[in-house]
Structures are given as C-alpha cells and as structure tokens.
C-alpha cells in the first residue's frame, strides 16, 4: 500500500487544504487512537503544538478524534517536539502527538506521531493508521468517551530534563549566549534552561503571535542571530527552528556553523571521554564529505542513510550508535532523547565549550568542508526526475564527478521541491553541475 498522507516526517501541508484540514486531523485522531487501543487499561495520548495560529484548530480536531474512540487526552500547550516525545514516555502514554510543520512558514502545519516508547512511528504503524483513515471510525460507547485535561507544569518538566543532560561538574557562569527561538515552541523553555544553568541570556524570537513563527528568524534564517551575537559581544549563539528539534550555531565572530560541524564536535568530545558508542556517527547522504574524512582520520566511521531523521535513528539503533543527525541541524543523542532535540544538542556544544576553554570559532571548526552546493527547484506536479532530459543530464554529471565528488538528487518529503546537491574538491565544477541539473528539472 502506498503512502497517501504520511511523508518523511508525519503529515504536513498548507493549512485548510488537503490533507492538512480539521477533518483530516479528526480522522487521524480516530485512526491513531483506535490503532493504539491495546489492552484493558485507560488509554492516554499526549498532545503538544508549536505556536502557529492553526494549532488551536488542529488541536481541537485531534482531541475530538481521540476522545471519540475512547482515548484520554493530556494537552501540553506550546512545547518542543522532543519534549512531547519525552513526556509521552514519562507519563506512560500510549501515544504522543506534535502539531507542527517544523521550519516551514506559519501557513503550513503538520502532525507528528510518537509511540509509547517516545520514538517516531515505524512505516508499518503509519501504513496501518493510513488504512484506517478510509474506513468508518470505531467509536466508543457514550460512557467510554475519553476525557481531556491540560497540565500546567509541562514546561518545568522539560526544562528539568534538558538541564539534566548538562554535566553537573560544569556551569554556564560567565558565558553570554544569544538564543533565537524562532517565535516557536521553545520560546520559554530554551531561555529558561540556559539562564538556570548560569548563562547571561539574550533571547530572540520569543514573542509568538501565531503568524511570525520562522519568519526571518530561527535556524533557517540566522542573519538576525549573527548580527546580535557580534553586537552583544556574546560568546556564542544558538538558533532553533519552530518546533525546536534542530539547532544551528553562530560563533562569536558571527559565522554560522551547521549540523555536520556540531556532530563532529560532539562525537569527538564523547570519544575523548569514552562515551561514544558504535564506533562512529550516523548521518544522511547530504552530510559533507569533510565530516566523513575527519571521522576517518580519528579512526571513526560515518554511516550514511537516506534523508530523514527517522532513517538516521533506525540506523543508529541498528548499528548501536548514540550520535547521529543531519546537516540541517537535526541532532539525535540517544543517551538523552528519542528524537532530535535542539536544546539538548546545544547544551552538549556548550559543555564542550566550557570544558575545553576555547573560543567557539576555534572549537566549532572541526574540519574543512568540501565545496558543496544545494539548490531547490519547486515544481507544480508530475514527475520531473523521470523526464528523459533530466535523466541524461544527471547521468552526465555523475560521470563528470566520478571519483572526484558526490551527487545527491531527491524529491523532498515535506515540500513540492526537487533538491539537487553536489560536492567535490573543485568548487567551479560543483556549481556547474548543480546549475545544469536545476535547469533541466525546471524545463521538465
């Protein structure tokens, strides 16, 4: 059975357009709730959301769906995606739901589901839920309809958890940190956690109005953070996205540092302390060749997967690795969390900064990146990658890069985009290859 609703990271789309409608959310609540009604205990689902205007609508529809099939609902309010995963486990819930479109603009929204173990659902569970969406819901008898309640201490629980991942022997005293919360889900918890650990905190993106999430701020738009780090004379800047499951860092000079450098830093720091497991790091095909070379020089390996943090996590569990992630800043540290956690990853970076006593500009330059270029081509429909002209162009580019670089071309799982990436030691060649393929895709 093919996928109709679920992409690489749950269900996502433009709000009030299929599939991201209140009707779909109601059906997802009914289908997912019925799928996880296992055993005779009173069943529970935990629901969090980011700060999008449409979050209220989607939350209400999901609550109606879950309650209608007999599942109790615990509402967390605006909370990071990793907080929902953590609280799903700690509250012994049968299911966790995050309402968010991550780094997308406010007009989009999405539904991410977590199993009782706090991990994102398997392909099998997603397909089983999809199969239920087309059928009639299994509604509960009137006396078995679920109840809904909101808990007020969810933020405090997550802040306590995040702080527990920072070494007790260290503190952030004396550090000035700028944190950009993208007017998103971490607008309270991230500044609070950093302040409680002793940092002087300059907080950006902490005034959500339902429409400004990710708007010119956060991990996908770090320019404001770069400017403030320099103007404030800060030691470092941290940028989260709308649901706070990814992290981008800015050093004290205003230079942006991506997820590849952060994974290298955390992995090598863990290796020095004997804490790295699995003999290396798991990353996607998009990660820079320079990361692979750096790890190999330290006797470690880089395991590559297809794009999507769920696939990174699957490989981590299979290989026994405790560090993995994506160049975009999704960093998974399974010693602490079951999904990407921007705040927790940031705290590990800060721990290394304090422990080694080196400036961020030095510490965060773990390797020299190989020239790499990624471009997106938006398309309205069809299958441009199947066009003969595109296939020929790609084959020619692969032959040209053979032995000198890599080419990765894929359709986005969350947006109507074709992503074209090339890397190699010859920067001019890399640019030429990407431009030619993008032009061929645009023509198709």
Q: Helices then strands (H, E): number in the chain?
A: 14, 18
Q: Is 395 helix (H, G, I), strand (E, B) or coil?
A: helix
Cα 183 from Cα 208, distance rounded (Å):
5
Cα 140 from Cα 163, distance rounded (Å):
41
- Establish whether 102 is a catalytic residue: yes
- C-alpha closest to that of 404 among 285, 289, 260, 303: 289
137 burial type by CB count under 10 A (0-12 exposed, 13-18 middle, 19+ buried): middle
Q: Residue ranges for the binding site? A: 102, 241, 243, 245
Q: Is 430 helix (H, G, I), strand (E, B) or coil?
A: helix
Q: Residue ranges for the binding site for Mg(2+)? A: 102, 241, 243, 245
Q: Is 98 helix (H, G, I), strand (E, B) or coil?
A: strand
111 burial type by CB count under 10 A (0-12 exposed, 13-18 middle, 19+ buried): buried
Catalytic residue, chosen from 68, 102, 219, 287, is 102
- C-alpha closest to that of 259 among 339, 192, 342: 342
User: Tokens 């470690």 — which residue?
Assistant: 300
In DSSP terms, 409 is beta-bridged to: 420
- Using CA atoms, how far residue 322 sits from 105, 209, 302, 312, 334, in Å, is 31, 37, 13, 11, 5
Close Cβ partners of 121 (under 8 Å, ≥ 6 residues apart): 113, 114, 115, 129
Active site amino acids? 102
């Amino acid at each position: 059975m093919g996928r109709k609703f679920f992409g690489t990271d749950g269900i996502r789309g433009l709000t009030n357009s299929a599939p991201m409608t209140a009707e779909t959310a109601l059906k997802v609540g009914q289908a997912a709730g019925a799928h996880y009604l296992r055993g005779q205990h009173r069943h529970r689902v935990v629901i969090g959301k980011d700060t999008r205007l449409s979050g209220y609508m989607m939350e209400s529809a999901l609550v109606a769906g879950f309650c209608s099939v007999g599942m109790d609902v615990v509402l967390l309010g605006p909370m990071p995606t990793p907080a929902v995963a953590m609280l799903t486990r700690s509250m012994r819930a049968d299911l966790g739901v995050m309402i968010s479109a991550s780094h997308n603009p406010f007009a989009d929204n999405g539904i991410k589901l977590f199993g009782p173990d706090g991990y994102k659902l398997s392909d099998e569970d997603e397909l089983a839920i999809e199969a239920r969406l087309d059928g009639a819901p299994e509604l509960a008898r009137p006396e078995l309809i679920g109840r809904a309640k909101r808990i007020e201490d969810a933020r405090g629980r997550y802040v306590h958890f995040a702080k527990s991942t920072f070494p007790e022997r260290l503190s952030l005293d004396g550090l000035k940190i700028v944190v950009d919360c993208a007017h998103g889900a971490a607008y309270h918890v991230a500044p609070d956690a950093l302040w409680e650990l002793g940092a002087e905190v300059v907080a950006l993106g902490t005034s959500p109005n339902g429409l400004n999430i990710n708007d010119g701020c956060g991990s996908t738009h770090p320019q404001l953070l770069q400017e403030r780090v320099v103007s404030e004379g800060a030691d470092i800047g941290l940028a989260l996205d709308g649901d706070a499951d990814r992290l981008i860092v800015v050093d004290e000079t205003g230079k942006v540092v991506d997820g590849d450098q952060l994974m290298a830093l955390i992995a090598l720091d863990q290796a020095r302390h004997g804490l790295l497991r699995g003999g290396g790091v798991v990353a996607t095909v998009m990660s820079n060749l320079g990361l692979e070379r750096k790890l190999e020089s330290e006797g470690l390996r880089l395991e590559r997967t297809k794009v999507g943090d769920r696939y990174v996590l699957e490989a981590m569990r299979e290989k026994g690795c405790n560090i993995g992630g994506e160049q975009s800043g999704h960093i998974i540290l399974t010693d602490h969390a079951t999904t990407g956690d921007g705040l927790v990853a940031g705290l590990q970076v800060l721990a290394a900064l304090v422990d080694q006593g080196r400036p961020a500009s030095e510490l965060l330059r773990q390797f020299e990146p190989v020239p790499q270029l990624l471009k997106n081509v938006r398309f309205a429909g069809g299958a441009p990658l199947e066009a003969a002209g595109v296939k020929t162009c790609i084959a020619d580019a692969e032959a040209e890069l053979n032995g000198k670089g890599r080419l990765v071309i894929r359709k986005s799982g969350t947006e109507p985009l074709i992503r074209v990436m090339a890397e190699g030691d010859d920067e001019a060649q890399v640019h030429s290859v990407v431009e030619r393929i993008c032009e061929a895709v645009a023509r198709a």
